[in-house]
Amino acid sequence: MAGSMKLSTLPILLLLITCLPSSATGSQDQESFLYTGFAGSNITLDGAATITPAGLVKLTNESFRIKGHAFHPAPVRFREAPNGTVRSFSVSFVFGILSSFGDIRGHGFAFFIAPTTDLSAAFPIQFLGLVNATNNGSATNHLFAVELDTIQNTEFGDIDNNHVGIDINSLNSVESNTAGFYNDDSSSREDDGMLTNMSLIGSGPIQVWVEYHGESTRINVTLAPLGVAKPARPLLSTVYDLSGVLTDQAYLGFSSSTGLSTGHHYVLGWSFGMGTPAPVIDPTKLPKLPYLGPRPQSKLLEIVLPIASAVFVLAVGILAITMVRRHIRYKEVREDWEVEYGPHRFSYKDLFRATKGFKDKNLIGAGGFGRVYKGVLPKSKSQVAVKRVSYDSKQGVKEFVAEVVSIGHLQHRNVVQLLGYCRRKGELLLVYDYMENGSLDNHLYGQLQGKATYLGWRQRFRIIKEIALGLLYLHEDWDKVVLHRDVKASNVLLDKNMNGRLGDFGLARLYDHGTDPQTTHVVGTIGYLAPELVHRGKATTLTDVFAFGIFVLEVTCGQRPIKEDPQGNQLVLVDWVLQNWHKGSLADVVDAKLQGGYDAGEACLALKLGLLCSHPFPQARPSMRQAMQYLDGDVPLPELLPEHFSFHMLALMKNESKVYSSAMPSYPSPMMTSFGSISDFSIHGR
Ligand SMILES: Nc1ncnc2c1ncn2[C@@H]1O[C@H](COP(=O)(O)OP(=O)(O)O)[C@@H](O)[C@H]1O
Ligand SMILES: *[C@@H]1O[C@H](CO)[C@@H](O)[C@H](O)[C@H]1NC(C)=O
Ligand SMILES: *[C@@H]1O[C@H](CO)[C@@H](O)[C@H](O)[C@H]1NC(C)=O
Ligand SMILES: *[C@@H]1O[C@H](CO)[C@@H](O)[C@H](O)[C@H]1NC(C)=O
Ligand SMILES: *[C@@H]1O[C@H](CO)[C@@H](O)[C@H](O)[C@H]1NC(C)=O
Ligand SMILES: *[C@@H]1O[C@H](CO)[C@@H](O)[C@H](O)[C@H]1NC(C)=O
Ligand SMILES: *[C@@H]1O[C@H](CO)[C@@H](O)[C@H](O)[C@H]1NC(C)=O
Ligand SMILES: *[C@@H]1O[C@H](CO)[C@@H](O)[C@H](O)[C@H]1NC(C)=O
């Protein structure tokens, strides 16, 4: 070590310069040395002892029953003159013992002064590489040692397995004590200072001071953790005249050994002073002890580390939980076949954000198939209506999504634009353009709190025409026939300009032109279902026309297709209109809320067209194109009499009544009210 070399070689250099002739004895008069680490030093090693790359002297290795020694290379002269007394000297060193296997203890080690560096005859294990079984206790050993023992050997009278002892010629200590140090704390003077126990193993670097006073022949041994100032009261203090022990010249060194358990004995720094205090070892310049198993920790680390790791674990836990929750919250169902629908696919996360987590505040309506939420898409900032539809069967989802996507291609000013979809387990989310003015039924029946503005006739007639246009577009103006299947006032939505738009394609089914329409279970809303749809479950463009007819009557009369009067009788709108027509008072059915403010010709046209469209006999109904022409006045409505409906109804009953009654056994006969033939179809239409 640079520091030690400076101090140890400086006196030699001075001697060489000042008194060259006596330079031969110069090395023997060397009075002090200092090793701050041992890297590059001229220390003499034997056995398993090595200098680690970090500059520590490591006395033993992991092998069993081995010894290791480290010596200051030059002997030290302990007497002023031959046969004189041993002079005062002072030694200080810093060591660390690490245990290889947790609590399994290795043997300790010793600082010693011996006449020779040849300790090849000494035994390892409990002899610490200092003596053997025959020369233990022999005065010819000229051995002085301070043992730092970590195993209790009863044959040597050890007091415990963590003690410090002063040994003369044998391993039986003349004085020993449990390792520790006396606090200098003046406040505890009454106890004469408390002994603070210290574990030799694993307590980090420990500093030892060994002092001998030549005149009083007192030997003091003091321990303290590295960095703690030398305690005033030594751990061991005994009187033993070393003049009878040490040879004139002797070597200073460290010794250690292993038995069946190994330890790691490190010396970090070392200083010696003959007749002077040992040079101070600067703890900050010492090499660090390697980390092996539990490492001594500073108080700060002891507190900060557990807290830091707890915080870390907590943070990781929270992160994991939020990620799992996010994953579950935004989990979607996505399959390979959906790839082609990519652009129409919305991420659930976006929809979740758009609707503020599907909050009740954003709920704008609940239909028969799910709840509808208002939302603002995070990216485009456009307003949307998100409809959550639950479905149970995996079957048909593919077809359904295909439909949804192809419906997304539909674009018409009288059709609510479907923007896309998202699929989750058991749930489908349909995203539509948001319609500011809500659904038509709310306006018709004044359910809008505050703005109970009833629609005037001009607006109503316009909306009827617009819905006719929208339906015509679905039926004819596209490469596929699209059936709406659920035409009704609550599925007619009004945009911000009060334009009527046909909405809610959740139930629509597609089929190609010409192919036979597939038969499915009945979908739609009671009151708008064509009789043949109820009986055969066959949806056609004409079943849509039927529902449109009911819708037209509804808008004109301002009444629901079926309602209960205060007496609990069910009133069927079609019956009622026909009844009035029979009586010649057709004008009475027009919505009273209009207070006569309507065009009589248009209203009459609407009522007759409504009846014609909702004719029980499908063949009697016009197509949407024809209906459009009638509404525009391009083609006059055929001359109709109420009897036409009765006649058709009778024919219908003759031909199909058996089918009807067997298909609908649950419909009670009391429903066959006043208007016999007509009420029959109304019942089925419910
Ligand atoms: N695109 C939309 N824009 C604004 N409101 C809508 C939209 N779609 C549906 N709504 C509202 O949600 C309600 C329920 O819709 P829906 O589920 O289609 O009803 P239903 O199943 O009874 O036909 C409607 O009455 C309407 O007020
Ligand atoms: C320990 O040191 C001895 C030499 O003293 C050597 O023979 C042995 O291989 C070493 N063991 C290990 C594990 O390094
Ligand atoms: C190292 O020590 C040996 C004796 O063990 C001695 O001969 C040699 O001169 C010393 N070298 C230095 C550089 O101190
Ligand atoms: C030292 O003492 C021994 C015996 O105690 C004696 O033989 C020897 O001559 C003495 N040497 C000196 C230099 O006094
Ligand atoms: C013990 O050590 C002494 C001195 O070093 C030696 O003479 C003797 O032979 C050793 N005894 C054994 C049993 O090794
Ligand atoms: C070692 O020597 C000491 C001192 O002579 C003696 O008391 C002790 O019994 C010896 N121990 C052994 C194990 O030889
Ligand atoms: C220190 O160790 C000794 C011996 O093991 C024991 O008697 C004493 O109680 C210990 N003191 C403290 C403060 O732990
Ligand atoms: C040993 O310690 C005592 C205090 O317990 C002190 O009075 C004495 O001077 C010390 N001796 C040496 C050599 O340091």
Q: What is the mean pLDDT of each successive set of 10 residues along the chain, which is 686 residues long?
A: 43 37 36 89 89 89 84 89 87 86 72 88 76 83 91 83 91 90 64 77 89 92 89 90 89 86 84 90 87 58 83 93 84 68 77 89 80 89 87 63 71 86 81 90 71 77 94 85 85 91 65 40 74 82 94 92 82 88 88 88 93 90 94 87 63 44 32 29 30
CA triple 181-185-190, angle to 5 deg: 95
Which residues does a 6 A CB cutoff place in the pocket of ligand 4?
82-83
pLDDT number for residue 339: 64
**Main-chain phi, psi angles of 304, to 5 degrees:** -70, -40
pLDDT number for residue 291: 67
Rounded to the nearest angstrom, the gap between the alpha carbon of residue 109 and the centroid of all alpha carbons in its chain is 52
Which residues does a 6 A CB cutoff place in the pocket of ligand 5?
121, 132, 134-135
Q: How far is it, in rounded angstroms, from Cα 665 to Cα 379?
A: 54
Please name the amino acid found at residue 633: G
Q: How far is it, in rounded angstroms, from Cα 521 to Cα 529?
A: 12
DSSP conformation class of 201: B
Residue 261, Cβ density class (10 Å: 0-12 exposed, 13-18 middle, ≥19 buried): middle
CA distances in angstroms from 518 to 365, 485, 505, 510, 656, listed in the order given = 31, 13, 18, 9, 21
Atom of ligand 2 nearest to the CA of 67: 5
141 lines ligand 6 (CB under 6 A): no
CA distances in angstroms from 497 to 433, 469, 555, listed in the order given = 14, 17, 19
Question: Fold identical between 331-434 and 437-680?
Answer: no
Q: Which ligand is nearest to the CA of 82?
A: 4
What DSSP line would sit under 639-656, residue for residue?
P--HHHHHHHHHHHHHHH
340 lines ligand 2 (CB under 6 A): no
528 contacts: CB under 8 Å, gap ≥ 6: 486, 487, 488, 546, 547, 550, 551, 561, 685
pLDDT number for residue 420: 82
- Host H or E run for residue 9: helix 2-18
What is the pairing mode between strands 109-114 and 249-257?
Answer: antiparallel
Which residues does a 6 A CB cutoff place in the pocket of ligand 7?
160, 178, 197
Closest residue to atom 12 of ligand 7, CA basis: 197
Count of positions (residues) in the chain: 686
49 lines ligand 2 (CB under 6 A): no
pLDDT number for residue 22: 28
570 lines ligand 6 (CB under 6 A): no
230 lines ligand 8 (CB under 6 A): no
Residue 468, Cβ density class (10 Å: 0-12 exposed, 13-18 middle, ≥19 buried): buried
pLDDT number for residue 104: 63
> In the chain, where are the structural domains located?
21-285, 331-434, 437-680
Tell me the CA–centroid distance for residue 640 and ligand 2, in Å: 118
Confirm if 206 and 96 have CB atoms less than 8 A apart: yes
CA triple 462-468-473, angle to 5 deg: 130
DSSP conformation class of 337: G
Question: Catalytic annotation on 486?
Answer: yes
Of the candidates 506, 562, 495, the residue with the CA atom closest to the CA atom of residue 367: 506
* Catalytic residue (choose from 486, 544, 591, 680): 486
The class (CATH top level) of 331-434 is alpha beta
Atom of ligand 7 nearest to the CA of 180: 1
Closest residue to atom 3 of ligand 4, CA basis: 83
Tell me which CATH code domain 437-680 carries.
1.10.510.10
Alpha helices for 214-343 (secondary structure H)? 299-329
Tell me the CA–centroid distance for residue 84 and ligand 4, in Å: 10
Q: How far is it, in rounded angstroms, from Cα 576 to Cα 679?
A: 10
CA triple 242-248-249, angle to 5 deg: 110
Closest residue to atom 5 of ligand 5, CA basis: 121
Q: How far is it, in rounded angstroms, from Cα 100 to Cα 98?
A: 6
User: 21-285 has which fold?
Assistant: Jelly Rolls (2.60.120)
DSSP conformation class of 436: T
Residue 143's SS3 state is: coil
pLDDT number for residue 685: 31
Atom of ligand 1 nearest to the CA of 486: 23
CA distances in angstroms from 278 to 32, 35, 255, 310, 340, listed in the order given = 7, 11, 20, 46, 86
Buried b / exposed e over 533-571, threshold 16 CB at 10 Å, is: bbbeebbbbbbbbbbbbbbbbbbbbbbbbbeeeeeeeeb
